[in-house]
Amino acid sequence: MDCIFCKIIAGEIPSTKVYEDEQVLAFRDIQPAAPVHILVIPKTHLIGAAAITAENSALVAHIFEVIPKIAAAEGITDYRVVTNQGAEAGQTVHHLHFHILPGRTLKGMC
């Protein structure tokens, strides 16, 4: 599959990993919009938030359990979690991902 994030999961594209388990991978964004900018992705390919269903939402719940652990490990307590659904909303990689971003001022994020 021609998906950048699937290639990162497979180790075909290098990334700076900050967390990994059997369901989830988190790594630093290559174009950080803040001093800490982490992407959290499911290892299962879902195109975005629009693909979340009752059948796979436990995976999304797991991601939201993992996010506070990643934030704590990064030493941040105040942050936002952003997902862009669709090109018109700024989604450039069509594999579900959640941005972890501390701070108020975000270039082009929201």
Q: Residues interacting with ligand DGP, by CB under 6 A? A: 4, 13, 15, 27-31, 39, 84, 90-93
In the complex, the smallest distance separating the C-beta of residue 61 from ligand DGP, rounded to whole angstroms, is: 20
Of the pair 27, 79, the CB lying nearest ligand DGP is at: 27
What is the Cα–Cα distance from 53 to 79, expressed in whole angstroms?
A: 26
Contact 96, 46 (CB under 8 A): yes
Q: Which residues contact 102 (CB under 8 A, 6 or more apart)?
A: 34, 35, 36, 76, 78, 79, 80
For residue 99, indicate whether it is catalytic. no
In the complex, the smallest distance separating the C-beta of residue 8 from ligand DGP, rounded to whole angstroms, is: 6
| Residues forming the active site | 97
